[in-house]
Amino acid sequence: MTITTESAAESAAAAAGLTSAAVVATTPEATGPYELERDIESPNRNLSPITSALDAKGRLQVGGCDLADLAQRYGTPLYVLDEATLRATCRAYRQALEAHYPGPSLAIYASKANSSLAISALVASEGLGLDAVSSGELLTALEGGMPAERIVLHGNNKSREELTLAIGAGVTVVLDNWHDLELLAELAPAAPVSLMLRLTPGIECHTHEYIQTGHLDSKFGFDPDQLEAVLRELTRHPWAQLTGLHAHIGSQIFELQPHRDLAGVLADALALARSLGHPVRDLNVGGGLGIRYVTSDDPPSIQEWVRGVAEAVHQACQQRGLELPRLLCEPGRSLVASAGLTLYRIGSRKEVPGIRTYLSVDGGMSDNPRPITYQSQYTAVLVERPRAAASERVTLAGKHCESGDILLKDLALPPAQSGDVLAVFATGAYNASMASNYNRIPKPAAVLVHEGAADLVQRREQPEDLLRYDLLPERLRKLWATSSQGGHQALICL
């Protein structure tokens, strides 16, 4: 593990191929949550991207770009993604697999965490594969240059259209249930289809209930007692080429033992599949490694996690006398979360004497639904004085018509006023990809920052864009035309 401090920013930046930033001296009483130390080998262990730095005035930069300038240029809310952090994370997974697993391996990016052409292209260029769960994610991956042979299609209710697209492109299909098999058989593929079989391993993780997927009461995958039946059924379909076995046990996991246990479950399934004549090559342990959202989070490093998984799979296969499979893992959150942050501009302030102070920003639950959905916690700083000592505690509220639209509770901030720009860290995963248009609020733009340059990778939606798919039936249009003569009053009365 390499911990770097801001005083070592130049060497860290150079190692990541970045321009360096001036380092500002900080006074001991400056205690903002912006952390000066960073683990550049395992970015999931940091609150902010590995290129974060303070300029001579103490303003926050990422990827060599001044965040206040980005907010000014591209508007807010703005998703910012740091290319160096994303690349460093991809390399950490690849190198750890090569270092700790004696057989072949492939890390597959779970693109549900954040799907875009730019991320697909970056991840593909780092040699990783990609997991998609819909036609939209699949098309984004293919258009972004991800080779089809490195893509897997997941989903517990795939449509005929999604399966047709996947088969046509030569993507591996994850067989999640009997319905998948029936649909595939109906499509009667002429050429062999590469399949990966997903099973529910019955391993429960200590994580938020809504994001557990590996226990027995799960909508995903075949129950263990169905395994032999489906493996036997597959031998009757000449087009079915079972190339892999898969399980995913949850997300934001800080323990190593659940994945070690999973290795044994998957190795048993591998032994059974091979004994029934399936030449299974891949063992996919899913994703799940946690990240640091707040200072009290202390997730394992990518290297520790991969090592734990690799050793367990190696050992489980040895114990069963199995030839080593190719080891696959599917990180989502730990691959992109720490590379991202969101910029907001502060607007209104409301003081409720003796209770709390609300600061409202120009985004909220539509660009980050995690706090209202999972009560997730985040860390935020003012980009122009991230290390300034806090003077008050505020509740950071979104702008949506929902009392629960709160991004951060009890945020310690230096004096902040309307117009100040705030960065919420670690929003690279499950923010843009889970964004909605609630209250008909357009989705933010996204920029990729690298070596002092920013590229727009997602245009900002405009209110007019939200009307693109609305249709006004002719008979309502007529009513509208009539009533509008009488003004809005009449329209409301309709």
By CB under 6 A, name the binding residues for ligand PLP.
Answer: 110, 113, 131, 154, 213, 248, 251, 286-288, 330-334
Which helix (H) or strand (E) is 175 found in, with range? Answer: strand 172-175
Structure letter (DSSP) for residue 149: G
Shortest distance (Å) from residue 219 CB to ligand PLP: 11
Number of residues that make up the chain: 494
Shortest distance (Å) from residue 427 CB to ligand PLP: 14
- Measured CA to CA, the distance from residue 426 to residue 379 in angstroms comes to 8
- Measured CA to CA, the distance from residue 130 to residue 124 in angstroms comes to 8
Residue 150: other Cβ atoms inside 10 A = 19
Active-site entry in 65, 90, 317, 401: 401
Which helix (H) or strand (E) is 130 found in, with range? Answer: strand 129-132
Shortest distance (Å) from residue 108 CB to ligand PLP: 8
Residue of 298, 207, 219 whose CA lies nearest to 250: 207
Active site residue 401: yes
Mapped to the 3 state alphabet, what secondary structure does 24-69 carry? CCCCCCCCCCCCCCEECCCHHHCCCCCCCEECCCCCEEECCEEHHH
Find out whether 260 and 308 touch, Cβ atoms under 8 Å: yes
- Measured CA to CA, the distance from residue 118 to residue 446 in angstroms comes to 10
The owner of tokens 């009365």 is 493
Query: What is the sign, positive or negative, of the torsion defined by CA atoms of 465, 158, 155, 163?
Result: negative
| CB-nearer residue toward ligand PLP: 71 or 110 | 110
Residue of 255, 164, 165 whose CA lies nearest to 205: 255
Structure letter (DSSP) for residue 91: H
Mapped to the 3 state alphabet, what secondary structure does 346-388 carry? EEEEEEECCCEEEEEECCCCCCCCHHHHHCCCCCEEECCCCCC
The owner of tokens 């063992």 is 283
Q: Which amino acids are annotated catalytic? A: 401
